[in-house]
Amino acid sequence: MYIPFDEMVDTSRVWIYQADKQLSTAEQSQIESKCNSFLQEWAAHGQALKSSFQIIHDKFLVISVDESFNQASGCSIDASVALVKNLEQELGINFFDRTKICFLVNGEIVEIPLNGIKSEVKNGNIKSDTLTFNNLVSDIRSFQTDWKVEAKNSWLKRYFQ
């Protein structure tokens, strides 16, 4: 069952998918339609899952499930991954490329390949206080507090020592 994202409890589990490009309005509408339909019916072993999603910065798809209501099973999680893979095929977007890191620079999302980070730091384009995204946060509380972090407080800190 779908509920608005801001009504999800802090302990709700999250999965963050980073698109390999900025999502257009039309693409976001298609993603919203597919996610709404999927989440209305999403279940684990026949038990409805209280779930939600949102698209942030025209780039990130965040899916959440309140496991205090019903726990997501391996099969139900696989179904959500299949949803995202289906969106990839329909829209020609890659949500699973982990070789690019996003930063928030002057209010804009900047995506840098892993092998280009060192030079971007050296050139001063990425600074220690530049915000980056920790797409590995596991719940809403962490998402709200630790998703956007300064580069010096992330695994990228080694570039600023």
Range of the domain at 142: 100-160
Q: What global pTM score does this model have?
A: 0.93
Question: Same domain for 69 and 106?
Answer: no
| pLDDT (average), residues 121-129 | 95
Whether pLDDT at 73 is above 90? no
Q: How many domains does the chain have?
A: 2
Domain boundary among 42, 59, 91: 91
H runs (alpha helix) in the chain: 25-41, 74-91, 117-122, 140-146
d(C-alpha 52, C-alpha 72), whole Å: 13
Question: Same domain for 76 and 116?
Answer: no
Question: Same domain for 141 and 124?
Answer: yes
**Please, which contacts does 146-149 make with residues 24 or more away whose CB atoms are closer than 8 Å?**
147/16, 148/104
Question: Same domain for 65 and 122?
Answer: no
Task: Give residue 145's pLDDT.
Answer: 95
The answer to whether 16 touches 135, Cβ cutoff 8 Å, is yes
What pLDDT digit, counting tens, does each position of 39-67 carry? 999 988 998 999 999 999 999 999 999 99
